[in-house]
Amino acid sequence: MNGEPARENAPAEDWIRRTWLVNGREVSLRVPPLRRVLDILREELGLTGAKEGCGEGECGACTVLVDDQPVCACLLVAAQLPNRSRILTIEGLSAMEEGRILEEAYVEAGAVQCGFCIPGMVMASYALLRRNSAPTERQIREALAGNICRCTGYVKIVEAVGRAAERMGRAAAGR
């Protein structure tokens, strides 16, 4: 969970330097090896879109993409991410056409209520659509199974991902 003393108390001589590509930008930091990537993103880099729900890998609110794969940033520590790892957060995705399409589709489908789960949902949705541009409802549900929404039920979320898939397909065909 957040704030375990051992994690933050590594002596400074044990800290490690890491250089990652965060939302396409090179970022170099010196951090305790066991500092969680979620905390680094939120506290060191000001990228607060990834949320902490459970802190235990159960809710998906902290989902980011690392080298195109969705991961729970609450379970990852700095030492596990080698130099040159590519991290995409909701801030980076929102600046991309695919992110805008997804966010619009979520809003239009009425899939956003309190919004807490949405950054993680959108990241997981994007990861799905990267590998499968026309997913079935079942495939969408499977891809989002690790992301918990306490407000909406999942019908509207599934609808939103379907809408976004169609729009991305149309956008790609029009290029």
Q: Using CB under 6 A as the criterion, which residues of the chain lie in contact with ligand FES when the complex forms? A: 52-55, 57-62, 72, 74, 112-118, 149-152
Cβ-based nearer residue to ligand FES, 18 or 36:
36
**The Cα angle at residue 163 between residues 102 and 70, in degrees rounded to 5:** 45
Cβ-based nearer residue to ligand FES, 32 or 60:
60
Q: Chain centroid to CA 26: how far?
A: 18
Q: How far is the CB of 25 from ligand FES (least distance, A)?
A: 23
Cβ-based nearer residue to ligand FES, 69 or 133:
69
* Separation between Cα atoms, residue 23 and residue 30, nearest integer Å: 19
User: Which of helix, strand or coil describes residue 140?
Assistant: helix
Q: How far is the CB of 175 from ligand FES (least distance, A)?
A: 32
Cβ-based nearer residue to ligand FES, 43 or 97:
43
Q: How far is the CB of 62 from ligand FES (least distance, A)?
A: 3
* Separation between Cα atoms, residue 144 and residue 131, nearest integer Å: 14
* Separation between Cα atoms, residue 59 and residue 145, nearest integer Å: 9
User: Which of helix, strand or coil describes residue 23?
Assistant: coil
Cβ-based nearer residue to ligand FES, 15 or 85:
85
Q: How far is the CB of 88 from ligand FES (least distance, A)?
A: 16
Q: How far is the CB of 60 from ligand FES (least distance, A)?
A: 5
Alpha-helical runs (H) found in 87-136: 90-94, 97-108, 118-131
